[in-house]
Amino acid sequence: MQSPLILELIESLKVLPGVGGKSAQRMAYYLLERDQSGAKHLATTILAALENIGHCQTCRTLTELEVCPICSDDRRDDTVVCVVETPADILSFESSGVFKGKYHVLMGHLSPIDGIGPEELGLDVLENRLHEGVVNELIIATNPTVEGEVTAHYLQQIAKQNAVKVTRLAQGIPFGAELEYLDPGTLTQAFLYRKEVDE
């Protein structure tokens, strides 16, 4: 019979995405048997993060500051805001170096079944930013899922009400891909988002 505390540790580790019972069990035993100092460091870091990390007052990303470094950077373009679903999406854009504007992080997408509405996504915060009149372009970078599309449509309505131009990330065939290996959904998006070729 396993210790109740070990069982509780295993159950606690199962809250991580993609971690099932067996993986959680391996992690728990590894931390207890082989890396207790690592386990202590992990525990104190998680506690410190939970106590000290909150949401940026401007874009809602996770940060230890009231306003995150991107929002407080005067070199970034205030007139362009890219709407993403998660802070991890920001990391993808920043690593590419292609975007020099600012962000709004939804922390999810509209999903009435899960009880996630406009309030949970901070759309009131975004609407206030648009209403101030500084932003002139809203780039929608939600995921190409049913919920992402519904969220994108809602964002378009907010932008329209505030006379802000809306653009959407192109969707479709990835660079270097071969058509025969693409799934039907990707090909459909490629056809729907096709554009005229300049001569």
- Domains (ranges, CATH) in the chain? 4-52 (1.10.8.420), 75-168 (3.40.1360.10), 170-199 (no CATH)
Between the CA atoms of 85, 151, 117 and 76, what dihedral angle is there, to the nearest 10 degrees? 40
Q: Are 86 and 147 in contact (CB under 8 A)?
A: no
Q: Could you give the CA distance from residue 69 to residue 122 in angstroms, rounded to a whole number?
A: 19
- Per-residue tens of pLDDT for the chain, all 199 residues: 779 999 999 999 999 999 999 999 999 999 999 999 999 999 999 999 999 999 999 999 999 999 999 999 999 999 999 999 999 999 999 988 889 999 999 999 999 888 898 999 999 999 999 999 999 999 999 988 889 889 999 999 999 999 999 999 887 777 777 777 778 877 877 777 776 666 5
Rounded to whole angstroms, how far apart are CA atoms 129 and 115? 25
Residues 6+ apart with CB under 8 A from 78: 101, 102, 134, 135
Question: Is there a contact between 121 and 108 (Cβ–Cβ < 8 Å)?
Answer: yes
> What pTM did the predictor assign?
0.83
